[in-house]
Amino acid sequence: MNDVNPSLLRLTASDIGDVDTLAREVWQATYPPLISQAQIDAMLADRYSPARIGEQLADPRHAWWGARQGDSLLGFAHAMQETQSICKLDKLYVHPAHQRRGIGAALLKEIEAWAHQRQMGRLKLQVNRGNAQAIRAYEKYGFQVIASYVFDIGQGFVMDDHVMERML
């Protein structure tokens, strides 16, 4: 993992502020070519509100992990049990300065182990069709595109996504 050797930990309520800060940094480095600033702001406010993350941290169908080096959060992942057999990888984000060092792969391994323990047999995710870097990463992790849809998420916004899956 090059010069970084972060610890992988389940996140708790005390990490919510760091998740919010890192999410804003990664989203601003990733999404401006793909979606409008208004959509970025609306999705960050919705998906990363302390109340929403707090509820997920208290819900056994959800799990959050972080990659920490000292005090710094370098990456995070969030997965949820969508059905008895399907685990949805809902978020996988690594700080731009620490990408391509295996942190995303290491976070994914934690998700796989969690899903496996709960007898889920498939991992599923959605990724913006224009997010070539993430699509390459997911292909490298063994995912395949199984469908592509435009999802209406309200407020006049859409997500133009691939749905990708792999067996566990």
Ligand X SMILES: CC(C)(COP(=O)(O)OP(=O)(O)OC[C@H]1O[C@@H](n2cnc3c(N)ncnc32)[C@H](O)[C@@H]1OP(=O)(O)O)[C@@H](O)C(=O)NCCC(=O)NCCS
| The two three-digit tokens of residue 62, written as one number | 């959800």
Minimum CB separation of residue 25 from ligand X in Å reads 10
140 is an interface residue for ligand X by CB under 6 A: yes
Phi, psi of 165 (to 5 degrees): -140, 155
Nearest approach, Cβ of residue 121 and ligand X (Å): 21
- Residues facing 148 on adjacent strands: 162
Site string for ligand X, 45-84 (x = CB under 6 A): ----------------------------------------
> Nearer to ligand X by C-beta: 87 or 92?
92
- Is residue 100 a contact point for ligand X (CB under 6 A)? yes
Q: Which is nearer to ligand X, 49 or 133 (CB)?
A: 133
Minimum CB–partner distance for residue 75 and ligand X (Å): 6
Residue 90 Cβ vs ligand X, minimum distance, rounded to whole Å: 9
Q: Which residue is nearest to ligand X (CB)?
A: 104
Q: Between the CA of residue 98 and those of 38, 75, 113, 115, 153, what are the distances in Å?
A: 27, 8, 23, 26, 30
Identified binder of ligand X from the candidate list 23, 40, 127, 164, rule CB under 6 A:
127
Which region, judged by CB under 6 A, interacts with ligand X, from 54-62, 115-123, 135-143, 144-152?
Answer: 135-143
Residues of the shown chain interacting with ligand X in the complex, contacts defined by CB under 6 A: 26, 30, 92-94, 99-105, 127, 131, 133-134, 136-137, 140
